[in-house]
Amino acid sequence: IFHLFLHTRKKMGLLLLLIICQCAINGIKTHSVSKPSIILLMADDLGIGDLGCYGNRTLRTPNIDRLAEEGVTLTQHIAASPLCTPSRAAFLTGRYPIRSGMAAFSRVGVFLFSASSGGLSSEEITFSKLLKQKGYATALIGKWHLGMNCESSNDFCHHPLSHGFDYFYGLPVTNFRDCKPGQGSVFLKGVQKDLVIPIQIAGIALVSLTIVQYIGLLKVPFQALGYFLLIITISLVVLIFFFYHFRHLNCFLMRDHQIIQQPLSYENLTQRLTKEAMQFIGRNTDTPFLLVLSYLHVHTALYASENFKGKSKHGLYGDAVEEMDWSVGQILDVLEKHNLSDKTLVYFTSDQGAHVEEISSSGEVHGGYNGIYKGGKSTNWEGGIRVPGLLRWPGVVQAGASIDEPTSNMDIFPTIVKLADAQLPSDRIIDGHDLLPLLQGKVTRSEHEFLFHYCNAYLNAVRWHPGNSESVWKVFFFTPNFSPEDSNGCYDSHVCFCHGGFITRHDPPLVFDLSRDPEEKVPLTPETESRFHEVLRAVHQAVDNHTRSLHAVPNQLSWDNLLWKPWLQLCCSSLFQSCYCDYESGGSSLQVHLG
């Protein structure tokens, strides 16, 4: 009996030890799955066809392709907007940009100036705010493009640090051609086109008033003529001053609230951004962190450092893609160096499709490749909104898997908020859905039955993926007028616009089945598709439900919020010194240009 008691006690002890070990292992898994570090890599204007993992055979992108090999490739990953500002607002908030006032009713759909008063409202909840509340170290490195100030040049109401980021190193606006000498201007053609007629009208009016005054047909006080001439002169002087100094006023580098380089220098810029990202990771090896690395590549002005210039098969554009790929490799290497790879979710995407109309003054193609897909940036054809979507998390996310379900860049918000053990906001609609069940293979269908495609603030198209079908229907209410007509973009205006004479409305709407016609070549008709009317009924009902869920909010992209306001201008020296400084190249000393 005594020996039996000892034997039983020994077996019970071993069993208890096994239970404790299993609980400990489960606890570790739960902790690592629930609070990983998160790296979100966003390219700018990158085409889905520019990457090897999406079929490109001439551009070298081994590091980005490695994310696909070791993680999941989303082949129907959709940007919430085909333009930078609204797409990034949706990405950060998990909501259609129309809900946050970040969708324009005017022709201009993005912020153009650092001293505009519009931006991502403080009422909006970003994933960075929620993760910061959960103890995450948070950083945004690279492009922001969601506003800066509201009422004064130092209130920083729209600044990244006001939206949950602990650290910011990057550009407050975006990378324009005008930022790099010799690369042309995105404004010149538009300014010439829009100002020639008003200036001619003002000139004719002034001359006419002077003539009728001289011959005595009408008595116009000379004081009124003087004021009229003064207003026109001041307006022209301000306009000329602004565009002459555009680079200094809008293209600068900041660290937190401090300007450190004005104007921006492109020398080794990708290396500097990458170094900042690596240092941030190195500072936070013992705590969960959120890093958003928002590349300037491959928005124009294109640039590449000496190590990459002239090395690709696709000119400067290809050089820029391959340099960005190098940067991604550096980030993955530093994760391995600190044994963080298995504890970090890495996501790679682009804010929208390639800008196909980008042609340099010398005729070189400076826009990317959208593969088989029609159109590009600024349109809701698939080429404008179908973007790379790569997610890697070793041991948690399937490796080498490909998912062809509709997903959105808005899905990142609920996905990482849940991983951080934070609560989704209950006082607003979140349009994104948690991707993790799909990424782990626990479900095979996307939660997005409908996706709504906006062109600025105008509902342009709707995507419907019925639960009982493999079809993905896409219904267009209007389409942009390409120019030239037989081209694949709006080359005459540089981007496509969303209303008036720039579009063609369709009644009945155009209907495509993307599962059979991903190139959107042949619209369906009642004669060629038996479900034609059923599709339209379902989409119209979805639009009604969606429209009822919208609430009026301040328009952050109104003309008033878009215009340059001198009192909001950030300047590291003074306007008389051309807003020039360089803390980056000169180390700790400030170099000031007085010429």
CA 389/CA 30 separation, integer angstroms = 25
Q: How confident is the model at residue 575 (pLDDT cuts 50, 70, 90)?
A: low
Q: pLDDT-derived band of residue 52, with 50, 70 and 90 as boundaries?
A: very high
Phi and psi for 545 in degrees, rounded to 5? -65, -45
Annotated catalytic residue 299: no
- Which residue do the tokens 């959105």 mark? 408
Q: Which pLDDT score, from 0 to 100, does residue 29 have? A: 41
DSSP letter string, 379-442 = S-SHHHHEEEEEEE-TTTSPSSEEE-S-EEGGGHHHHHHHHTTPPPPSSS-------HHHHTTS
pLDDT in tens, 382-439: 999 999 999 999 999 999 999 999 999 999 999 999 999 999 999 999 999 999 999 9
CA–CA dist 216, 214 (Å, integer) = 5
Question: pLDDT for 319-362, tens place per residue?
Answer: 999 999 999 999 999 999 999 999 999 999 999 999 999 998 88
Average pLDDT over the chain reads 90
* Residue 108 pLDDT exceeds 90: yes
Residue 90: cis peptide before it, omega within 30 degrees of 0: no
pLDDT score, position 186? 77
Kindly report which listed range (256-260, 309-313, 578-582) carries the lowest average pLDDT score. 578-582
Range 268-283 average pLDDT: 98
* Residue 397: partners with Cβ closer than 8 Å, 6 or more residues away: 71, 72, 345, 391, 439, 440
Query: Tens of pLDDT along 130-143?
Result: 999 999 999 999 99
Per-residue pLDDT band at 230 (split at 50, 70, 90) = confident
Burial of 225 (0-12, 13-18, 19+ CB in 10 A): middle
Q: How far is CA 238 from CA 117, 206, 243, 250, 565, in A?
A: 18, 20, 9, 15, 11
Is there a catalytic annotation at residue 179? no
Average confidence (pLDDT) over 204-229: 71
The one catalytic residue among 7, 23, 31, 84: 84
Domains of the chain: 37-175+252-446+556-568 (3.40.720.10), 186-244 (1.10.287)
List the end-to-end C-alpha distance of the chain, in Å, as a whole number. 101
Query: What is the longest distance spanned by two Cα atoms in the chain?
Result: 132
Nearest of 417, 350, 378, 315 to residue 43 by alpha carbon: 350
Stretch among 271-280, 373-382, 579-588 having the lowest mean pLDDT: 579-588
Other CB atoms within 10 Å distance of the CB of residue 98: 24
8 Å CB contact between 450 and 488 = no
Q: Which among 358, 391, 386 is positioned nearest to 372, based on CA atoms?
A: 386
Q: Which of 44, 28, 501, 30 is nearest to 295 (CA)?
A: 44
* The pLDDT of residue 393: 98
Q: Which of 21, 31, 53, 145 is the catalytic position?
A: 145
The token pair at 459 is 């509902």
- What pLDDT is stored for residue 188 in this prediction? 67
Looking at residue 586, what is its pLDDT?
Answer: 56
pLDDT at 203: 73
Record the tokens describing residue 455, joined without a space: 């062109």
- Global model pTM greater than 0.75: yes
Give pLDDT, residue 192.
Answer: 57
**DSSP letter assigned to residue 290:** E
pLDDT at 594: 29
Coil, helix or strand at residue 204:
helix
Mean pLDDT of 166-194: 84
- Which pairing describes strands 167-171 and 407-408: parallel, antiparallel, or unpaired? unpaired
Q: For 27-45, how does the pLDDT look when each residue is reduced to its tens digit (9 = 90+)?
A: 434 334 669 999 999 999 9
